[in-house]
Amino acid sequence: MAARTLRIGLIPGDGIGREVIPAGRRILEALPTSLGLKFSFSQHSAGFETFQKTGAALPTATVEALQSDCDGALFGAVSSPTVKTEGYSSPIVALRKKLKLYANVRPVKTTASAARPVDLVIVRENTEDLYVKEEKTYSAPDGSKIAEAIKRISETASWDISAMAGDIALRRQRVRDAGTAENSIHTRPLVTVTHKSNVLSQTDGLFRETARRALAQDVYQMVEVEEQIVDSMVYKLFRQPGDYDVIVAPNLYGDILSDGAAALVGSLGLVPSANVGKDFVIGEPCHGSAPDIEGKGIANPIATIRSTALMLEFQGEEKAAAKIYEAVDANLEEGRLLSPDMGGKATTEEIIVDICKRL
């Protein structure tokens, strides 16, 4: 059987993005040939420095190249201006809109031998809820100000994000089955639907009801489904993180939960994410551009390496993803080469080389 070639766009962005995105490429190139995968790469521009040079944080050429010439992409990090800058807006937010990447998927994982092992994914709806940014401020009869914001929940978006959560639960199980069983703390696929329908009976009520219907489809019959009210979810996430596999939530709750969950593993340098649509996926480490360590060669590449595996998962390459996850876990379990954010002294290059060897 002929090898499958995946065309991957590389968007380093700013700061340490330029130091960690090459790690993603090197990991893909180090995968065993027995997996039947080949890769071609193209480099593209985006970010604040690109804005300063060209006047566009996300050049049209970058979007067009991703749409026509790439099967997926890796995005590094972008710096944000310290003062309001006319004409600048986040390129990753713009990419999500232009490529219709309606889900933000953030795995949070420790090694299996950690004192409190964590291995979960938060699936955040990425297009609506309070983030539609429809706000207004007006005066009350007594002259005081009142501010209002629209919380929009649609059946279509709720169905799509819930079905994706079900797909991810099944895919994670396939990755677990393809890997080493003892490296996982889960034995079955589970989706936890998070909402506040006891108060917001129409908006969150629609999300809850739609999620239940979406996950009741025959394709998800292997997936166990449960619910948590969001305030209870926050409490239990930090008290009992090992109980959760896939958590699906509307935009605002997903944003809060995913940022909070990163604290469970001790460093953003370990936390990957993917921006996912029906036809495209962008792997993206959760850390920022970290100008304080730029150029020092000590940036933790693991978030990018895990984001690379996550991108492969959404391209249907579970076996390749499992190989990468196992290599990363082995590096962390041994604990010999840890970057400074993890309390070690290893360089970016040393970690990349070690994980490539483990592949």
Whether residues 36 and 87 share a domain: the answer is yes
Q: Please indicate, yes or no, if residue 286 is contained in any of the structural domains.
A: yes
Is residue 232 located within the same domain as residue 148? Answer: yes
> In the prediction, which pLDDT does 183 show?
56
Does 116 reside within a domain? no
Statement to judge: residues 201 and 273 lie in one domain: no
End-to-end CA distance of the chain: 22
Do residues 52 and 89 share a domain?
Answer: yes
The pLDDT confidence band at residue 187, using thresholds 50, 70 and 90, is confident
Residues 258 and 331 in one domain: no
Per DSSP bridges, beta strands 190-195 and 246-249 are parallel
The lowest-confidence range among 36-50, 78-92, 248-262, 283-297 is: 78-92
**What span, in angstroms and rounded, lies between the C-alpha atoms of 32 and 28?**
9
- Token couple for 25: 């490429």
pLDDT score for 320: 94
Looking at the fold, whether 276 and 219 belong to one and the same domain comes out as no
Residue 121: inside a domain: no
Q: Could you tell me the pLDDT band of residue 81, with boundaries at 50, 70 and 90?
A: confident
Q: Identify the band that residue 84 occupies on the pLDDT scale cut at 50, 70 and 90.
A: confident
User: Is residue 117 domain-resident?
Assistant: no
Same domain, 256 and 145: yes
In terms of phi and psi (left: phi > 0; alpha: psi -120 to 50; beta: otherwise), the region of 147 is beta
Cα–Cα nearest to 126, from 149, 93, 151, 155: 93
Domain stop point among 234, 264, 294: 264
Instruction: Assign residue 353 the CATH number of its domain.
Output: 3.40.718.10
DSSP β-ladder status, 72-77 and 281-283: parallel
pLDDT at residue 184, as a whole number:
67
* 82 and 159 inside one domain: no
Instruction: Looking at the structure, tell me whether residues 272 and 187 fall in a common domain.
Output: no
Amino acid at 357: K
Q: State whether 280 and 359 are in the same domain.
A: yes
- Measured from the Cβ of residue 113, the count of other Cβ atoms closer than 10 Å reads 11
pLDDT tens by residue, 54-76: 999 999 999 999 999 999 999 99
pLDDT level of residue 128 (50, 70, 90 thresholds): very high
pLDDT at 7: 97
Greater confidence (175 vs 231) lies with 231
Instruction: Please tell me the distance from the alpha carbon of residue 142 to that of residue 261, in angstroms, as a whole number.
Output: 43
The dihedral built from the CA positions of residue 190, 193, 194 and 197, taken in this order, carries a sign that is negative
Count how many domains the chain has.
Answer: 2
In a domain? residue 302: yes
Range of the domain at 337: 1-110+266-359
Neighbours of 238 (CB within 10 A): 12
Confidence of residue 83 (pLDDT cuts 50, 70, 90): confident
Q: What tens digit of pLDDT does each residue of 24-50 get?
A: 999 999 999 999 999 999 999 999 999
What percent of the chain clears pLDDT 70, i.e. is strictly above it? 98
Q: Are 52 and 84 in contact (CB under 8 A)?
A: no
Residue that is last in its domain, among 264, 281, 312: 264
* 241: enclosing H helix or E strand: none
Across all residues in the chain, what is the average pLDDT? 92
Within 188-282, residue ranges assigned H as helices are 203-215, 230-239, 251-261
DSSP 8-state class, residue 150: -
Q: Which of 243, 264, 285 is the last residue of a domain?
A: 264
pLDDT of amino acid 131: 86
More confident of the two residues 303 and 93:
303
Q: What is the pLDDT of residues 204-250, one digit of tens each?
A: 999 999 999 999 999 999 999 999 999 999 999 999 999 999 999 99
Number of other CB atoms surrounding residue 140 within 10 Å: 8
Give mean pLDDT, residues 13-17.
95
The candidate with the shortest Cα–Cα distance to 12, out of 59, 37, 41, 46, is 46
**CA pair distance 13, 305, nearest whole angstrom:** 16
Q: Are residues 227 and 185 in the same domain?
A: yes
Domain assignment present for 339 = yes
Q: What is the pLDDT of residue 111?
A: 75
| 90/156 same-domain check | no
One-character DSSP codes across 1-55: -PPEEEEEEEEEESTTHHHHHHHHHHHHHHS-GGG-EEEEEEE---SHHHHHHHS
Greater pLDDT, 83 or 299: 299
In a domain, 324, yes or no: yes
Position 1 scores a pLDDT of 65
